Structure 1
Amino acid sequence: MSQQKQFDLNLLRVFATVCRTASFSRAAEELDLTQSSVSNAIARLKRTVGEELFIRVGRGIKPTAAAVSLYQQFENPLSSIEQTLLGLDKFDPLSSQRTFHVYANETMIGLLHRTVEQRLNSTGIKLIFRETPVQEQQLQLDLQLERVDLAIDMIKPDLASFTSQEVMTDKLVCVVRKDHPRISGSISREQYFAEKHIILNMKRGNLSVVDFLTDEVLPARAVYSEQASILAMLATASKSDAITLASYSYAKEYAELFGLQVLSLPMNVNPIKYHMVWSSKLSRSPANIWLRSTLLSLIESRETISH
């Protein structure tokens, strides 16, 4: 009998679960198996495909490039089968105890966190916001492996494995302290490039946020500091002569608290477009549909209030 006829399809289900949970122990718990059974299944699949599938990273594991490629080939058919067998069309938000995970940046988390908490207060559902990864490749991988249910980001992946919807627009502004010695009320292009900059440690399209949103190639800027938090950037700007950038909706919320000027940028910058992004295989999942609809309604209601 050929190897193809002897292949155990259960190995793919174990493999997909390990990829998604990034843990042998969590996969074992979810599949109601022992950890040794999961390890043995992965070892058998490794021998079959002839490639290393997982590597140790700290106390956890990470899929290799071969594993990610294999997962991408099998995730859609496996998901379709499991959705049919498990009857996911029976998702009921009133009785569900599910926990959703959503990637979003500080602007979106600040916009949505309290309203989401209020909306879900009478249900058993939990929604946990997580800071968007610095690199978009990690964001896409986590969506593919279902480590998060969806993301709200400035970029929409141009891949068939993802679906996206534009949910909000904002604009990028320059932020400086009110008593800045050289800038008051407005900022010229010459002033902008002459000052030191507080940079956000985030890349989209392998570009900084402002370079990503402009159609021109901008001159190099002198860096004062590089930080991972927009709030920390605003705080630093309030205590120095360095300038920084933020979305208008976020900057105006903290301008008075930190004593900041919020100024229009002295160059043409495209609007910030926020996209809700999810794995295409979840497009018909009632749970994911409910999540997207809930978040969209909350974003739209907040935008109506702000205008």
Structure 2
Amino acid sequence: MAQQKQFDLNLLRVFTTVCRTASFSRAAEELDLTQSSVSNAIARLKRTVGEELFIRVGRGVKPTAAALSLYQQFDEPLSSIEQTLLGLNKFDPQSSQRTFHVYANETMIGLLHRAAEQRLRSTDIKLIFRETPVQEQQLQHELQLENIDLAIDMNKPDLTSFSSQEVMTDKLVCVVRKGHPRISDSISREQYFAEKHIILNLKRGNLSVVDFLTDEVLPTREVYSEQASLLAMLATASKSDAITLASYSYAKEYAELFGLQVLTLPLDVNPIQYHMVWSSKLSRNPANMWLRETLLDLVESRA
């Protein structure tokens, strides 16, 4: 009697990666395989289960109902096995020459860059901060491929392939120049909407930061200028009668330099929450764990 051929568990790893990335080409990149190898693996798994697994949608693929059912059963145990194996690697910060890459926005880079440089001065470790990309999909893609070790972001993905931890809460404040002809020490809601505004557009969703953080629909404000940089925005406020917004931690760093007043915002807004986000498969990786602990300690020390 012929012996039944043993099932190739590598097919499941390819399958879950295609489900997560919604692309044969991105899965091939992540797994360091050719696209034809990924396609062949999915074809073999399809023959084994006897069900169609993916359908073409634009430039990517979408899992069928059968594929989603399989993914829900296999993704978590496979990720757990991978985390356990990755956790066996040792990491010694005193002997490592590792370069870490972290995505963060302007506020967090300003808060952490100098502190990280001082902390790592006695080591050969390099920590490179990069501004968060415009598209959230690109951020997730870079994390999945491990091109980026970690991101510090105001958003956290609702996907099991990512893990997150809140690292800091800040508040939004109003910033005006000292000697403003109409505003001194405090600002009312009526004054806020009567003034011209310097707007920092969030790159995601094309929203201003206050519209992103409030639950109410705010009246239209008269725009003085739109800026892509917090620092440029504060500099503009220092040379005009226009008002602007910033996080408290960032505004207080530059208030004296630019001659600015930092005032309580007369609106009901949610706190600014920053989260560390990383690929779940690196949750037990010693190097990534060290990076998360170091950044968390730096944030707490600065706070």
CA distance in 2 between counterparts of 1:116 and 1:77 reads 35
Structure 2 contact 87–286 (Cα < 8 Å) conserved: no
Matches within 5 A, 1:39-50: none
Match of residue 188 from structure 1:
188
1:150-171 deviation digits (Å, cap 9, x = unpaired): 1112222222222211111211
Q: Is 1:112 matched up with 2:108?
A: no
Match of residue 178 from structure 2:
178
Match of residue 157 from structure 1:
157
Match of residue 60 from structure 1:
none
CA distance in 1 between counterparts of 2:296 and 2:221 reads 37
Structure 2 contact 87–284 (Cα < 8 Å) conserved: no
CA distance in 2 between counterparts of 1:6 and 1:146 reads 25
3-state secondary structure, aligned to 1:160 = coil
Letter in 1 for 2:125: I
State TM-score, norm by structure 1: 0.73
Match of residue 139 from structure 1:
139
State the shift of 1:210 in Å: 1.0
3-state secondary structure, aligned to 1:179 = coil
Match of residue 233 from structure 2:
233
Structure 2 contact 82–281 (Cα < 8 Å) conserved: no
3-state secondary structure, aligned to 1:256 = helix
Structure 2 contact 104–151 (Cα < 8 Å) conserved: yes
Match of residue 246 from structure 1:
246
Structure 1 contact 211–217 (Cα < 8 Å) conserved: yes
Structure 1 contact 169–271 (Cα < 8 Å) conserved: yes
Higher Cα radius of gyration: 2
Match of residue 102 from structure 1:
102
State the shift of 1:51 in Å: 8.5
Q: 218-227 or 245-254: which moved more? A: 218-227
Report the CA distance shift for 1:88/1:65 in structure 2 as closer, same or farther (over 3 A): farther
Matches within 5 A, 1:202-281: 202-203=202-203, 207-281=207-281
Match of residue 298 from structure 1:
298
Q: 184-193 or 137-146: which moved more? A: 137-146
CA distance in 2 between counterparts of 1:183 and 1:240 reads 13
State the shift of 1:292 in Å: 0.5
State TM-score, norm by structure 2: 0.74
- Number of matched residues? 283
CA distance in 2 between counterparts of 1:137 and 1:241 reads 38
Letter in 1 for 2:172: L
1:254-302 deviation digits (Å, cap 9, x = unpaired): 1111111111111122221221121222111111111111111111122
1:139-158 deviation digits (Å, cap 9, x = unpaired): 33332332211111222222
Report the CA distance shift for 1:165/1:87 in structure 2 as closer, same or farther (over 3 A): closer
What is the percentage of aligned positions where both structures have the same residue?
74
CA distance in 1 between counterparts of 2:201 and 2:96 reads 37
Match of residue 285 from structure 2:
285
| Stretches of structure 2 lacking an aligned partner (at least 5 in a row) | 1-6, 45-52
CA distance in 2 between counterparts of 1:242 and 1:196 reads 5
Report the CA distance shift for 1:223/1:268 in structure 2 as closer, same or farther (over 3 A): same
Structure 1 contact 46–52 (Cα < 8 Å) conserved: no
| Stretches of structure 1 lacking an aligned partner (at least 5 in a row) | 32-36, 56-63
3-state secondary structure, aligned to 1:276 = strand
3-state secondary structure, aligned to 2:192 = helix
Structure 1 contact 103–130 (Cα < 8 Å) conserved: yes
Letter in 1 for 2:242: A
Q: 258-267 or 181-190: which moved more? A: 181-190
State the shift of 1:198 in Å: 1.5
Structure 1 contact 134–201 (Cα < 8 Å) conserved: no
1:50-89 deviation digits (Å, cap 9, x = unpaired): 9999x8xxxxxxxx5669xx9xx79978876766667753
Letter in 2 for 1:223: V
Report the CA distance shift for 1:108/1:292 in structure 2 as closer, same or farther (over 3 A): same
